[in-house]
Structure formats: structure tokens, C-alpha cells
Structure 1
Amino acid sequence: MNAGTTQPDADKRARRHTVRIAMNGVTGRMGYRQHLVRSLLAIREQGGIDLGDGTAIWPEPLLVGRREHALLAIAEQHGLDPDTAVATDLDAVLADDSVDIYFDSQITLAREEAITKAIEAGKHVYTEKPTATSLAGALRLARLAAEAGVKHGVVQDKLFLPGLLKLKRLVDGGFFGRILSVRGEFGYWVFEGDWQPAQRPSWNYRAEDGGGIVVDMFPHWEYVLHELFGRVESVQALATTHIPQRWDEQGKPYEASADDAAYGIFQLAGGAIAQINSSWAVRVNREELVEFQVDGTEGSAVAGLRRCRAQHRSATPKPVWNPDLPATHRFREQWQEVPDNTEFDNGFKAQWELFLRHVVRGEPYTWDLMAGARGVQLAELGLRSSAEGRRLPVPELSL
């Protein structure tokens, strides 16, 4: 395998494990900004991933897509050789023995077919979520990868955010005692596109194109809840479309057929209850675009993308309800900042480094296509719960 070859010690490139990565979808916002620029190119800028034995993993991106002119522009901007770093024929790329990993950040509707081809070609797979448009499809990918013996990973970036890493530190240290509840607020106002351009692509709001906030965000909530607090055992959700008409990239109006807000209640293993609101039709009155409040018998914490504040049982004030008098407590000032105590890297980059170490060195890696299937399952059950108006159990998955 190309990832396992070591180059000679002749120059500064000596002792590099070169890993060639076909990146499909880098003309999109997330694929370009987070995965190419802030992850793989950032890894190259730091000299690769130091393995501690005088060798380093060196990622070699191959930009794949249908819009050759856009790919060539990206390659030129970042000093990549257009003759070797740009391709428009995915089948030819997957047939190339020098390609080690296939990465997918396309629109969801195109993902399952492309990943299937990559697995059948014997490529290791790293992908954005959701991994497929249905649970059956997501499980099929996980089974195919297991049978093929390829390594596979799914982006679960929020686990690597500074705020949630500090929150996990509190969980692991027993700060909360028995965890009672988790309350999450996510979202912001996405402009309709008529008098100001929308911050998100129009396909996000068309169900027929794989859009909707449930399929986008419930996979995130599944792995956050699963990794920090316990497996989701049941879901009750209400999904709705608050803004029924939007304007696309060409300024043309269209019907928003996908949900743009979802209100979910999740029962977790161990008895804790999570409530998470997700909305692209909410104006932000919180410190960060996503915040989670965790309440336990011994303490509470509020974590966002970067900050985490805590309040221990011994330092909890005693507010008294009296609507006849103005509030005298400055509640937010009564919480203590949880210190960083370390330097936090970009979350996408941190996970890329773990996956590349997994491919090259076989180091443990748990965020695989089965983890991705759990996210698809929760989204599917969330939509079904909303349609049927009832709470649904979340069965454990297996290959």
C-alpha cells in the first residue's frame, strides 16, 4: 500500500509515509474550508503527522469533482500540481492503485453510491455524515466495509470542539454526580435569500435533494449524546418547516419542502433525559451557536463550541421565585470558567490525524461506518416520530 512506503533519507522529504487521498466534494463549503484547508493542508504545513520515530504521515490530496475549472482554481491557489492533484473521473481515480483513501463530502444523495464504489475498489473510506439517505443504506455500507477489510471513519467533529472536550473532562471526572438532563440549543437565522444571500445552499431546504435539519443535525446529536452521556434509547421529535419559501443561488424562489427546525426529546441509557432544539429559523441570544447545559446531582455545566462554564453544588445560589420584585441575581456571573489546561487544535484536523494514524499504523479508531449508521437511524426515527406523533424506541444496531 502506498501509505506504508517510506521515502529515502535523501532530503527534507525523507522518512515520510505518503498517503494519497481522493477528496470528493472540496468545492463545497465544508469540504474546502474544514477538510482541505484547515485539515489536510494544515497538516502539510506542520510537516505532516509526527509518528515519534523519525517518520511522519504526509497527506497528498487528489481533488475530485465534476467542475474541473473550480478544482484547478483550488489547486493553483494552494500550490498543488494540477496534473496530479485534480481529477474529474471518479471511476478512474478509484482504479488508481496509488490512491489509498476515498473521502466524501458531496451532497448526501450522491454519497452512498460513491462510497460503495470506493469500498469495492479496496479503498479506505473517510466520509462526512449522514453516510446514506436511509438506515438500510448506512448499514449496507458498514457491512460492505467490514467484509472488504478496509478501514473506515465518519466525521464526528463536535466531539473535538474545545467546549465539548472540557465538558467531557467534567463527565469523566465525576463532576456532575448522577446526570439528570441535557438541554441543547442549536441554530441561527439562515437568510431566506431574497434580500440577502443565504448562508447555506438551497438544497438543504429541499427534501427531494436530501435536505432537512433532522437529517443534518440528528446524526450530530446521536454521537454527542452517545459518547458523552449514554446511548439514545428513545426519541420523540417534532420537525417543521417554519419558512415555506426561500430563494436559491440564482435568486429564484422555491418551495422549502424540507424541515428547517426540529424539537427533540431523547431518553438515554442510565435514565438521563436530553432535549435538543435545532433551528435555521431562530435568532441567536446565547453566547455561541450551539450550547449544551448538563445538570446533575452534584453540579451543572454549560458548554458551547469553545467555552465551558460550571457550577458546583456547593456554590449553587438560592434563587427564590418572586415576580413582584426585580431579579437581583446576575445568574451568568455565578458560573466558573472551566480552564483549557491544554491547546486545542481544529476539530476536523484532529480527527483527520487520528484516522490517518489508524490507516498507517493501525491505531484504534471507533468513529466508523457503524457509528455513522447510528446517526442515520436517529434521524430516520426522528422524522418518523414527528410524522406519527409518538415516542419511538431506538434499537441497538449490529452488523
Structure 2
Amino acid sequence: MSQRVVKILMNGVTGRMGRNQHLIRSVLAIREQGGVPLPSGDVIWPEPVLIGRSEPKLRALAAEFGLSEWSTDLDAALADPAAEVYFDAQVTSERAASVRKAITAAKHLYCEKPIAADAGEALELARLAQAAGVKNGVVQDKLFLPGLLKLKRLVDAGFFGRILSVRGEFGYWVFEGDWQSAQRPSWNYRAEEGGGIIIDMFCHWQYVLENLFGRIRAVSALGATHLPERVDEAGRRYRATADDAAYGTFELEGGVIVQLNSSWCVRVYRDELLWLQVDGTHGSAVAGLRTCKVQHRVTTPKPTWNPDVPNPFDFYGDWQEVPDNTDFDNGFKAQWELFLKHVVCGEPFPWDFMAGAKGVQLAELGLRSWAERRWLEVPELGA
């Protein structure tokens, strides 16, 4: 058995997502398990190089996990011929410029979403990466959630019959930052820094809906900034300029209607932070982050409207749990392993920059729909 070392420039790992999901729970977890095994018996061994703007933070992070390489000089890091992959988890406003540099340096690219602040720039990055011949991928982690994997299993098995509609709720209360600290960074609530829940979550909803149910044909969205003032990490009050809630309706090919609410201003009264209900002619399912429950038409109760008597039904009890039937790994880690196999072995990786650009396109159309207060068609990207 031999190791195939892949040196990865990881930019933005001092932030919440870069540190927790990508460095600790993905790349370092892969190292802890002995690498990514290959059919030949060899393994892919990721070697992270921490990149960022704060020398003290990088030094402390490297020391915490026993890593030897870090740098605040992205240009110098990109000049290293041994570095094969550039990964970006910076704030959205900084991403495109760094990705362009990595393309010029002929590095393979793996990025958090959104890959750019607008669809035109996202499409340009996709075309530049393709022209440069570098492998490229975008994080689409929700496809690897156990609940949605179970939902995909049901779709592929034809459980629903003809799918009619999808309803969803996502979000939780993000504290304002005064009497309790916020769980999300303050830049998320400043549009000038790439913040906003539509640019964030519509990128997710695009790939979730397309991979599970079909292409999105049209979108109608309403955004809101419910909390106009928040307090940042230094205790300073600031004006929130970005949307913190989004109420979207989507029409898919085949006539499926989707309603999805996304909010950082909602208190959770459901089993999980994400909840999707799919209704079809033969059955329905409710999926969360980890669980999925179903109700077939032969076990569907027959309620009638009568508010004058106590409810005789246990509506929650009429659903059946979908079993795991497999082990589910961390979704970020699972996609990292697939991308590393794509780089080393050329295995398929469908979630490339063009897929990421589709998410930015939908977010941009959602913002336009809100501003213009109307439905908008979703054209084929680049058409």
C-alpha cells in the first residue's frame, strides 16, 4: 500500500465553516481514518496548508492540530508546484478574486458556495476553469444529509407515484448579539459583504430541488429584513442591510410546486432545523436532516373538518420511519472524499462550477423577483 499525497491550500479555515466542517470534520477526519482508500489498496492522503489573513489565528490553529504549513501570502502559496488543490471557504465577497488566481496557477478547485456574488461572474469562473483544464467542484453538502438520502431513495423507488408538491421550512432564531451572542457571523447580515439568506439558501435549494425532483422552471420570492439592527462580535451595533428571511415558491418541470421558507428569525417547532414534506399520488414523506418518515395512501387516515369535537386522530402516529439501512458519514467529508478521488483517479464529480453557477443564478433571480414583485422564468444557464 502506498500513499498518494494531495497538498491542499485551504483558504478561510479560521472561519466557522472552514474550521469546523472542512478542516476538522472532513480533511483531518480523513487523515484520522488513514486516508481515502482506493480499489488498488493505495490511499489518498490530504496534506492541508492553512491560508488566511490573520497570522495569530493561523498559527494557533496549526498548533492545535499539529499542522506544519500555514501562510498569509496566497500568491506565494499558489506558486508552490507541489500544491495541487485550492479550496476556498472565505466570505463570499473575497472568493472570486482568489479563485481567479488559483485558476491562473493551474490548481484544481473546490469551493464553498456561492462561488461568486452574481451569476455572470459565477458563469465566467466556470468557463475559465473549463478552459484551463482544471478539475473543479462546489460544496453541495445537503445532498449527503441522511434525511435527504432517504428521500432520494424513495424518489428513485417510485414511492410517491406522481409527485405533486414539496413544502419546506428551514432556519432558527439567530440571536441579535446584544443580550446573547449571535450564532452566525455579522457579515451574514451585511449585503455589501455578500450577506443575505437568499444568496445563501437559494444556492442550496437549487441543487436540492434539481437533484431530487427536477429542473426549476420559474421562481417567485419575497425577502425581508425582519431585524434591522444587530450587534457584531466586538459588541458594536450595526444596521442589517441584508435579508434575514426568504419566502420562495418554485415551479419545477413536470408541474411540481415547491414552497420553501428560510429564516434566521424563526423559533423552531419541528423535529429538525430542516423539514421537507413531499406529497404524491401514492404516498407522502417528511424528511429532516437525519430522519425521514412516510405515509402510504393505504395507511392515510380520513379526517373531516369538525372544530366542534376533539381531534380523534394521532396524525404524527400515522407515519412510519424509513430505516437507515446503511451508515451515513458526515456530508462534507463524504463530498471531500469524492472530490479527492475525482482529482487523483478522474472519478465522476457532477457538482462542478457550472452546477454552482446555477445556484447563484437562482439566488439572483430570487432577489430580482423580490425587487420586482413578480414571477421570473429560470432560463438555461448561459442561454
TM-score (norm 2): 0.99
**Correspondence for 1:135 among 114, 119, 134:** 119
Aligned partner of 1:97 in structure 2 is 81
Q: Tell me the equivalent position of 1:42.
A: 29
Among candidates 246, 249, 274, match of residue 290 of structure 1? 274
Instruction: State the AA in 1 paired with 2:341.
Output: R
Q: Aligned partners of 2:87, 2:225: CA distance in 1, in Å?
A: 31
Please state if 1:230 is matched with 2:214: yes
| Structure 1 position 348, deviation (Å) | 0.1
Q: Counterpart of 2:379?
A: 395
Pair 1:167 & 2:151 matched: yes
Aligned to 1:19: 6
Aligned-partner residue type, residue 11 of structure 2: N
Q: Which runs of 5+ in 1 are unaligned?
A: 1-13
2:19 counterpart residue number: 32
Partner of 1:249: 233
**1:127-185 superposed Cα distances (whole Å, 9 cap, x missing partner):** 00000001000000000000000000000000000000000000000000000001110
Q: How does 1:1-399 map to 2 (within 5 A)?
A: 15-81=2-68, 85-398=69-382
Deviation at 1:223, TM superposition (A): 0.3
- Matching residue's letter, 1:316: T
User: In the alignment, residue 60 of structure 1 is paired with which amino acid?
Assistant: E
Task: Quote how far apart the aligned CAs of 1:79 are.
Answer: 1.3
What SS does the aligned partner of 1:122 have?
coil
2-side partners of 1:150 and 1:69: how far apart? 32
Output the CA distance in 2 between the equivalents of 1:18 and 1:111.
26
SS of the residue aligned with 1:18?
strand
Compute the displacement of 1:53 (Å): 1.2
Structure-1 separation of matches of 2:370 and 2:41 = 54
Q: Write the distance in 2 (CA, Å) between the matches of 1:209 and 1:365.
A: 30
Q: CA RMSD in A?
A: 0.8
Q: Aligned equivalents of 2:41 and 2:169: distance in 1? A: 45
Gaps of 5+ in 2: none
- Secondary structure of residue in 2 paired with 1:47: coil
SS of the residue corresponding to residue 208 of structure 1 reads helix
Amino acid at match of 1:190: V
- Structure 2: how far apart are the matches of 1:90 and 1:282? 39
Return the offset for 1:365.
0.7
Alpha-carbon distance, 1:326 to partner? 1.4
Q: AA paired with 1:21?
A: I
- In 1, the alpha carbon distance for the partners of 2:381 and 2:230 equals 37
Amino acid at match of 2:346: G
| Counterpart residue identity of residue 46, structure 1 | Q
Cα offsets for 1:176-232 (capped at 9, x unmatched) = 000000111001000001110000111100111111000010000000000000011
Q: 4+ residue stretches of structure 1 with deviation over 6 A?
A: none
Between the aligned partners of 1:260 and 1:54, the Cα distance in structure 2 is: 48
Amino acid at match of 1:32: R
Query: Scaled by the length of structure 1, what TM-score is found?
Result: 0.95
**Alpha-carbon deviation of 1:48?**
0.3
Deviation at 1:235, TM superposition (A): 0.2
Residues of 2 paired with 1:68 and 1:345: CA distance?
Answer: 32
Amino acid at match of 1:129: K
- Per-residue CA deviations over 1:304-323 (Å, capped at 9, x if unaligned) read 00000000111111111111
Q: CA deviation at 1:398?
A: 4.0
Per mean C-alpha deviation after superposition, the further-off stretch among 324-333 and 23-32 is 324-333
Letter in 1 for 2:274: V
% identical aligned pairs: 68
Alpha-carbon distance, 1:290 to partner: 0.6
Instruction: Report the secondary structure of 2:364's partner residue.
Output: helix
| 3-state SS, counterpart of residue 100 of structure 1 | strand
Aligned residues: 383
